[in-house]
Amino acid sequence: MRKLFILFGTFIFTLSAYAEVSTKVIDLVGQESKVEFLAIGKPSLLKINGTGGKLKGKIEVSGTKVTGQLLVALDLITTGLNLRDEHMKNKYLEIAKFPEASLQISELQLEKNLFTISGSQKGVPFKGKLKIHGVEKDIEGFADVDSDEKVVSISAQTKTSISAHQIDLPSYMGIKVADEVQITTQFKLKK
């Protein structure tokens, strides 16, 4: 009888471990999202805020590990000035050749599964590869995760170098953009 209880307990433990590691793939098309960037000019009085980006791609959640590929169409991003947008998209980003930017998330380890808990996890480090202008570079950043009964909200920040992606530093009338650009991504996933 004791062996039966031990066997049954082992079976239940194995099932619960398997349930925790089950994988869920989420398509980001149709999910609420936004992508923004902030570039600072030299002198630093100039701040260029690019907005309007929407995510597509897929996120894979396996237990507490999150991976996936995020894509954003660069033609949707605007800075508030038509001439600057035209130069950014056509001269610098060359969106006719490179219409999308992508982030391949390779490492994001949460304390708890996104879909089985409620609460917040702040400053979770992540690693990945960011591809802009056809050039892929390793990046690191931080994500904040908030989860309730219905929705998981994720906000992530990273930085990249314009020159690392083989893009000329934008300039206009003697004012240049600093090489470092901050990228912020926010999206919500329905449970």
Please report the domains of the chain, with CATH numbers, ordered by start residue.
23-190 (2.40.128.110)
Locate 150 and state its tokens. Answer: 């219905």
**What per-residue confidence (pLDDT) applies to 22?**
78
**What per-residue confidence (pLDDT) applies to 21?**
55
Count Cα atoms within 13 angstroms, Cβ side, for 100. 12
**What 3-state DSSP class applies to 28?**
coil
Owner of token pair 């690693």: 127
d(C-alpha 156, C-alpha 59), whole Å: 14
User: Prior bond to 170 cis, omega within 30?
Assistant: no
Helix, strand, coil percentages for the chain (3-state, nearest 5): 20, 55, 25
d(C-alpha 77, C-alpha 55), whole Å: 11
Tell me the pTM: 0.84
How many whole angstroms from its chain centre is CA 47? Answer: 22
Count Cα atoms within 13 angstroms, Cβ side, for 88. 22
The helix or strand, by DSSP H or E, that contains position 75, with its residue range, turns out to be: none
Mean pLDDT by 10-residue block, N- to C-terminus, for the chain (191 residues)? 44 44 86 95 84 95 94 96 95 97 96 85 97 98 93 95 95 87 94 78
Locate 2 and state its tokens. Answer: 């004791």
**What per-residue confidence (pLDDT) applies to 114?**
81
**What per-residue confidence (pLDDT) applies to 45?**
77
The helix or strand, by DSSP H or E, that contains position 20, with its residue range, turns out to be: helix 2-20
d(C-alpha 191, C-alpha 185), whole Å: 19
The helix or strand, by DSSP H or E, that contains position 2, with its residue range, turns out to be: helix 2-20
d(C-alpha 168, C-alpha 44), whole Å: 19
Pick from 53, 55, 49: which is nearest to 77 by CA? 53
